[in-house]
Amino acid sequence: MQASADTLKSEVRSYWNAQPCGTQFTSLPWGSREFFADVERGRYASHPFLPEVAEFKAFAGKRLLEVGCGLGTDLIQFARACASVTGVDLTPQSIELVKTRFALEGLPVDARVSDAENLPFADESFDVVYSFGVLHHTPDTERAIREVHRVLKPGGRIIIMLYHLNSMRMWLGTPLHRFKQLLETGDFRKGAEDWIRVYDGAQNPLGKAYTQRDMERMFAAFHDRKYSVHHPIRESLPPIVSAVSQRLLAPWCGFFLVIKARK
């Protein structure tokens, strides 16, 4: 790996280690039962489509790997429904919290600090690989997708979400972001890429977004590729606006593009 990709990856690790994804839903001290309950409530209030899209109850008895499991909120849903679960994340902080969370519920988990681009598993180890909002944060996304393919059993399934370039957020937000940059810094050239990056916070070092056509190319080694589009609910929006936007807009121009496919 080039030094610049190495540096970028260590910036990605530091960023997410300092604020594991999901901690934004609560102000409680990290690691308590109440903390995890708050995180879980916040996640499925803002992502109500997730239980169905991720098929939490569909993998009893299957070996499931989550790449970039964050606090393990989705991972524990699969485990509660009797999947045998493994979670990896780049950050030690997330993995510590995942272990605490599973211990609190007395559920087994193999949770490891690992890099999606170099998964520490033998070929054909898993029946399912799930990853939600992760692979667009790693410098070499295509390498990570090859790793997913490698560790999946023949016939195994993927459920993976990447940010969606053909989305309302990009169409409306990019020109506004450029204009804001122009007013603040006199330089409007920080365009779409910068706008994707700041979705996860102003200091987030890396975020990318893809079209369905991009994903057709990136996931060409998988079969039966199917896509769906979703958008999280912003609590600041009036419920009626959220309801209309979830029903009418999210399915075609939401910011989350999900691929489901088989090896």
Site residues (CB under 6 A) for ligand SAM?
A: 12, 16, 21-22, 68-70, 88-91, 94, 115-117, 132-134, 137-138, 200
| Nearest-approach distance from CB 162 to ligand SAM, in angstroms | 11
| Nearest-approach distance from CB 188 to ligand SAM, in angstroms | 27
With respect to ligand SAM, which residue has the nearer C-beta, 81 or 181? 81
Give the nearest residue (CB) to ligand SAM: 70
With respect to ligand SAM, which residue has the nearer C-beta, 43 or 157? 43
| Nearest-approach distance from CB 216 to ligand SAM, in angstroms | 23
Burial class (CB within 10 angstroms; exposed 0-12, middle 13-18, buried 19+) of 172 = exposed
With respect to ligand SAM, which residue has the nearer C-beta, 59 or 178? 59
Start-to-end Cα distance in the chain: 27
With respect to ligand SAM, which residue has the nearer C-beta, 16 or 56? 16
Q: How far is C-alpha 53 from the geometric centre of its chain's CA atoms?
A: 13
Is the distance from CB of 86 to CB of 66 less than 8 angstroms?
Answer: yes
With respect to ligand SAM, which residue has the nearer C-beta, 126 or 178? 126
| Nearest-approach distance from CB 208 to ligand SAM, in angstroms | 11
- For residue 259, the cross-strand partners are 160, 227
| Nearest-approach distance from CB 149 to ligand SAM, in angstroms | 16
